Structure 1
Amino acid sequence: MKRTLPALLVCASLLVVAGPPAVAVAPSPTVAVRHASARAVTQPSAAFGPSDLVPGVPRTVREPGRQLHIEYVPRSEAQRPGTRALRCSAATGPYQRQAERYLGREVDGRQSAGDCRAIRRFQQTHRIAPATGFAGPVTGAMVRVMRARKDPNRAGHCPDRAERTVCVDLNRQLMWVQQDGRVILDPVAIRSGAPTMETRTGTYRIYLRHRRHISNLYGTSMPYAQFFDRGEALHGVYEDIFSGAGSHGCVNLTMTDARRAWEVLDKGDIVHVWGRKPGV
């Protein structure tokens, strides 16, 4: 019985469908590992655990028409409807040291008035809300993106080829594109597969591109979809890239980054995926 093409295009790592052969698919030794939490961007902290942090901006006060990255903050610092003035946070966030190091502050892991002002400016620049200077998981993720831009492949995990290669680093939740030793698309934040639906590791090629794809399994929009392995694709999402447990196996990008990747890449380009999404 013939299978229709749309039946093959689903973004679910648990669905087995036929796809083109990979370029030397290497099974990951970490595939069987399950994450301890659904929150993709948080990590343990001595001061604040995942259950202590909440989205800092309620939906009712998020700015319409402007994509914001919603930081997780202590419950006592969450912005309430009708609140305008935001105080500079005195709390030390789980990513305090990383923020201090990147911003050239004294790396002591303790929040100060100067630290807060510097982190707050960083958050405002990168559309992180509420911009209170609390170094939460979203601020930490953005620090990783910015630090990676200097030399994303410093550890050498992504193969250096003459062909365009998409480098998907699940450890840092980053993606960039390189070719012949040169980065041609700077590192950007990604959201990979949720627990039990992890993005598969290995080396593949983009075998299908669809600018306005709709998942036939989930009925969800997958703009700028570039499929590389049995239904898994690079594609844009309309929600915040840092929200939720993760994808159904796809590599999610902001709409802006998905559009840039679409313009840079083409059918047949290599996609190399390695690592493991951090747990909590």
Structure 2
Amino acid sequence: MTFDPEALGHSRSDLAAALKEQRRRAGWTQVRLAKRCNMSQTKVSNIESGKLTPALVDVELILEALGAEGPLAAEIRLLTRSANTEWQDHGASRRRGLDKKQDELARLEAATREFRFFLLSMVTGLLATPEYIRASIADVSGDQSKIIVRKLERQRVLLEARKSFTFILTEQAVRWPILPPPAMAMQVDRLASVSRLPNVRLGVLPLAGHVPERPLNTFTVYDRRLATVETGTGALMLRDRRDVNAYRDDFERYEGYAVWGEDCRRLLSEWSMIFTRQCE
């Protein structure tokens, strides 16, 4: 599928129109289609009006019920993939205000029970010290204090016992010197501290050893319903089940190469001491 960020916003309405037209061509009512697909008539109505983005499994049920096949059915499947993909431009987020972005993330975190973070090059805000957060948004114009406060407030989610968090950080993410050595030592110590929370698993991928994988992006998986993939200019929000499962599978492979528990904390202690010695 060709990726066109500007087209993603139109795919939901296009999909809704295509499914509605397919039903009408078959001469079916929404009630009949809903009964055949074991859905409510309200759900079918919301899909056809564009109020609800259907998952691929819903679309497959509809296409099968209507006997749709060939190029048109293939096009509807592509529209479904696009409709379940959203592009969030970093520039647009900054113009709108990164404090508002923090509110969006807080709502997403409130609705999620199981988190998986793969951190390729930097520490995520949930694990960051105030100094690290300030350095990570140093290029953001205007008053940064509100953003820092909101990021720190979001860290309270780590204390919610009913939620589980798994973080995998590459050695590069842990040791990238975005701060002077004393502050970097404090940041590494913060990781070790968080790793002791009962609902948190934190592992690192050291450069020593053999990891026959090729990680390209930082990504986060929220339950089984959403994967976000970071790029240099924005983030992809993937809701298609195939995409989410693919990133869950990637995460599971990296888990097997990561170092956990006391072995992880020993590595973090070594890296913290390296920063400390640089201050002497």
TM-score, length of structure 2 as denominator length: 0.23
Larger radius of gyration: 2
Which of the two has greater strand per residue?
A: 1
TM-score, length of structure 1 as denominator length: 0.23
Higher relative contact order (CA 8 A, sep 6+): 1
